[in-house]
């Protein structure tokens, strides 16, 4: 049939049936879709890949141009005339056409393709068209996902920079509301302060995506069945359709949204909780369509809420400090020093987060990079929490190591497989944060590839004063899988050998001994010891 047409068209140019068979075999085994069209743009041949791509068999495409089956409609539903089709122009214009377009599958769904349409000549006369097509839907989806991830990181970094540069509460909350509204895909978002006033429980503080007048005519929301879990219990709520939730419409006087309120179908609420457990308020988002907010949206907003909590805590601390300074009539110089100190701490912490994000998402697959980033961010958070418990004073080296190990080794760390041994050493907050990140990298590597990958491996961590005002920390893995030097140094190794060494003002040496990884850290002995 169609194959016979190709065979006949090539018969005079081939050396015999074996050449024809070879040509057919090549076409049928090609990974790209191939179509051969006659002078009326009707399909006279399609290979197996073309059948799989379009969902049509050759006999279903008879009698009309191929365009009428797979290219007749734009994605917006409008008609696509064959006269406007660049593939069709390859025949009358006798020129090759290349480009990207959207085809229609037999089942009706659209898919993105890259195509090349080449005129088919015999004895100098154009007798048809050869069309090569490749489905690029997955490539474009991956590209869009990467662009979205890049946009998300840029927004988070921009927001982090802003939070690091101001202690003004209104600026902080507005920036957080704007960023979270943008990244969640909401039509509008708001931050409500968790206050208790006569006749109201939550106070609208900032709004994004809608004018303030859109809310000014309505009373402030109360701790209803929908709002209560977030503002009282500190629980995030994500609903594809708030109207179908059994808690919706239970409270008077409106039994739902008041008349004239912005339409809300998709609903997302995330609490902003201080480091002391107090609920500052909540970020609330709405959209008129169903199913807008995904788990990813919730995770992103939760991350922003965590940044907001730190910034609000610091802003409140700064405000309280200023009030105390004013009450005690401290000097202007002391006020400036305190402001700079608070600002310096916030900038250092967020600068570290931005650095981790930048390095982690460089050269790794998106899903893997996200998991690695979240792990490193968790390690930083754990070390930071430990320091906060000590009110930014010195902390013990043993506590830093234990805190770094427990999230990854769990009960293993307490089962005798991990040995901690050394004298009592106190570390400054800067040294504790840096060492905590280093322990995280070593523990993660041990779980994935080293001594903690099996059931018998052990880790011995020792620290001691070796003289010359030098502290030596050794990490030795035993009885794990055989260790081989890596072909190249990853970010974790560079973080230890360069970043950690720099932060500790010391040296880090990693040895890939077949019996187990060995890491030696040398640093100046801290002045404070106990």
Tens of pLDDT, residues 146-174: 887 777 777 777 777 777 777 788 888 88
pLDDT at 10: 43
pLDDT at 79: 93
Structure tokens at 114: 């890259």
Q: By CB neighbour count within 10 A (0-12 exposed, 13-18 middle, 19+ buried), where does 205 fall?
A: middle
pLDDT band at 222 (very low <50, low <70, confident <90, very high): low
Please identify which residue in the block is written with the tokens 């050759």: 58
Q: Which of 457, 461, 206, 392 is nearest to 312 (CA)?
A: 206
pLDDT at 389: 62
pLDDT band at 474 (very low <50, low <70, confident <90, very high): very high
Q: Residues 21-32: pLDDT tens digits?
A: 677 777 787 778
Helix-, strand-, coil-residue percentages of the chain, each rounded to 5: 45, 25, 30
pLDDT at 160: 76
Positive or negative CA dihedral for 29, 61, 67, 4? positive
pLDDT at 529: 44
Helical ranges in 361-428 per DSSP H: 366-389, 397-409
Please identify which residue in the block is written with the tokens 């990693």: 510
The yes-or-no verdict on residue 102 having pLDDT over 90 is: yes
pLDDT band at 427 (very low <50, low <70, confident <90, very high): confident
CB 202 within 8 A of CB 227: yes
Q: Which of 78, 96, 79 is nearest to 87 (CA)?
A: 96
pLDDT band at 66 (very low <50, low <70, confident <90, very high): very high
Q: Which of 25, 62, 67, 66 is nearest to 47 (CA)?
A: 25
CB 117 within 8 A of CB 85: no
Residues above pLDDT 90, as percent of the chain: 21
Higher-confidence residue: 160 or 469? 469
pLDDT at 12: 42
Rounded CA gap, 440 and 352, in Å? 15
Q: Residues 306-317: pLDDT tens digits?
A: 888 888 888 778
In this predicted structure, which of 293-297, 378-382, 470-474 has the lowest mean pLDDT? 378-382
State the DSSP code for 79: B
pTM over 0.75: no
Q: Residues 429-454: pLDDT tens digits?
A: 888 888 888 888 898 888 888 988 88
Q: What is the 3 state secondary structure string of 84-103?
A: HCHHHHCCCCCCCEEEEEEE
C-beta pairs of 151-159 under 8 Å, 24+ apart in sequence: 152/183, 152/300, 153/357, 153/361, 155/179, 155/182, 155/183, 156/183, 156/303, 156/304, 156/357, 157/354, 157/357, 157/358, 159/304, 159/307
141-328 belongs to which CATH class? Answer: alpha beta
Domain residue ranges of the chain, discontinuous segments joined by +? 2-135, 141-328, 386-524
Q: Coil, strand or helix: which one is 494?
A: helix
Please identify which residue in the block is written with the tokens 């504790």: 432
pLDDT at 9: 46
The yes-or-no verdict on residue 202 having pLDDT over 60 is: no
pLDDT at 471: 93
Higher-confidence residue: 293 or 248? 293
pLDDT at 345: 60
2-135 belongs to which CATH class? Answer: alpha beta
φ, ψ for residue 129, nearest 5 deg: -140, 135
Helical ranges in 137-212 per DSSP H: 137-164, 169-184
In this predicted structure, which of 177-191, 325-339, 398-412, 486-500 has the lowest mean pLDDT? 325-339
Q: Which helix H or strand E contains 510, and what residues bound it?
A: strand 507-513
Most confident of 39-53, 187-201, 345-359: 39-53
CB 183 within 8 A of CB 297: yes
One CATH from 1.10.490.10, 3.30.565.10, 3.40.50.150, 3.40.50.920 for 386-524: 3.30.565.10
DSSP class per residue in 180-197: HHHHHT-SEEEEEEEEEE
pLDDT at 57: 93
The count of C-alpha atoms lying within 13 angstroms of the C-alpha of 517, restricted to the half-sphere facing its C-beta, is 24
**Across residues 395-416, what is the average pLDDT?**
75
Would 2-135 and 141-328 be classified into the same CATH topology? yes
In this predicted structure, which of 64-68, 160-164, 498-502 has the lowest mean pLDDT? 160-164
pLDDT at 323: 79
Mutual orientation of helices 332-360 and 295-327 as an angle, nearest 10°? Answer: 160
pLDDT band at 530 (very low <50, low <70, confident <90, very high): very low
Higher-confidence residue: 112 or 216? 112
pLDDT at 405: 84
The yes-or-no verdict on residue 51 having pLDDT over 90 is: yes
Rounded CA gap, 304 and 153, in Å? 11
Rounded CA gap, 121 and 393, in Å? 83
Rounded CA gap, 521 and 498, in Å? 12
pLDDT at 515: 92
Rounded CA gap, 249 and 391, in Å? 45
pLDDT band at 363 (very low <50, low <70, confident <90, very high): low
pLDDT at 342: 47
pLDDT at 2: 42
The yes-or-no verdict on residue 490 having pLDDT over 50 is: yes
CB 173 within 8 A of CB 284: no
pLDDT band at 334 (very low <50, low <70, confident <90, very high): very low
Residue 75 CB partners (closer than 8 Å, separation 6+): 102, 110
pLDDT at 333: 54
CB 135 within 8 A of CB 283: no
CB 94 within 8 A of CB 126: yes
């Amino acid at each position: 049939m169609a194959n016979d047409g190709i065979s006949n068209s090539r018969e005079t140019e081939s050396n015999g049936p074996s050449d024809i068979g070879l040509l057919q075999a090549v076409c049928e085994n090609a990974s790209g879709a191939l179509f051969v069209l006659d002078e009326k743009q009707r399909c006279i041949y399609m290979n197996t890949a073309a059948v799989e791509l379009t969902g049509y068999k050759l006999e279903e495409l008879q009698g009309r141009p191929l365009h009428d089956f797979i290219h007749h409609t734009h994605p917006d539903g409008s008609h696509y005339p064959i006269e406007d089709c660049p593939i069709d122009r390859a025949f009358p214009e006798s020129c090759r056409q290349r480009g990207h377009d959207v085809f229609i599958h037999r089942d009706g769904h659209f898919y993105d393709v890259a195509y090349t349409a080449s005129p088919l000549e015999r004895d100098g006369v154009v007798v048809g068209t050869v069309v090569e097509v490749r489905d690029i839907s997955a490539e474009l989806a991956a590209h869009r996902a990467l662009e979205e991830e890049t946009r998300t990181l840029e927004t988070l970094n921009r927001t982090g920079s802003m939070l690091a540069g101001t202690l003004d509460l209104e600026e902080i909350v507005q920036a957080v509301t704007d960023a979270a509204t943008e990244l969640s895909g909401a039509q509008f978002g708001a931050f409500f302060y968790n206050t208790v006033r006569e006749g109201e429980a939550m106070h609208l503080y900032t709004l994004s995506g809608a004018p303030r007048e859109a809310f000014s005519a309505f009373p402030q929301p109360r701790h209803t069945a929908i709002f209560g879990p977030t503002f009282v219990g500190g629980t995030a709520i994500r609903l594809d359709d708030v109207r179908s939730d059994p808690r919706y419409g239970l409270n008077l006087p409106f039994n739902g949204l008041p008349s004239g309120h912005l339409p809300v179908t998709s609903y997302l609420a995330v609490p902003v909780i201080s480091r002391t457990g107090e609920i500052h308020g909540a970020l609330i988002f709405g959209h008129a369509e169903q199913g807008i907010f995904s788990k990813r949206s919730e995770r992103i907003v939760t991350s922003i809420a965590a940044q907001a909590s730190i910034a609000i805590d610091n802003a409140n601390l700064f405000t309280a400090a200023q009030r105390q300074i004013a009450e005690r009539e401290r000097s202007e110089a002391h006020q400036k020093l305190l402001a700079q100190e608070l600002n310096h701490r916030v900038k250092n912490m967020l600068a570290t987060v931005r650095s981790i994000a930048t390095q982690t998402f460089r050269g790794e697959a998106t899903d893997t990079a996200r998991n690695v980033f979240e792990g490193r961010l968790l390690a930083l958070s754990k070390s930071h929490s430990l320091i906060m418990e000590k009110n930014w004073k010195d902390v013990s080296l043993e506590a830093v190591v234990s805190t770094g190990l427990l999230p990854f080794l769990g009960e293993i760390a307490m089962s005798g497989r991990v040995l901690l041994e050394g004298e009592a050493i106190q570390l400054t907050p800067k040294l504790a944060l840096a060492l905590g990140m280093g322990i995280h990298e070593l523990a993660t590597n041990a779980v994935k590839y080293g001594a903690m990958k099996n059931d018998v491996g052990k880790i011995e961590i020792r620290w001691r004063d070796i003289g010359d005002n030098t502290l030596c920390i050794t990490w030795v893995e035993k009885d794990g899988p055989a260790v081989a030097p890596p072909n190249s140094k990853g970010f974790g190794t560079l973080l230890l050998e360069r970043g950690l060494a720099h932060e500790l003002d010391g040296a880090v040496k990693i040895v890939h001994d077949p019996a187990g990884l060995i890491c030696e850290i040398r640093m100046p002995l801290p002045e404070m010891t106990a």
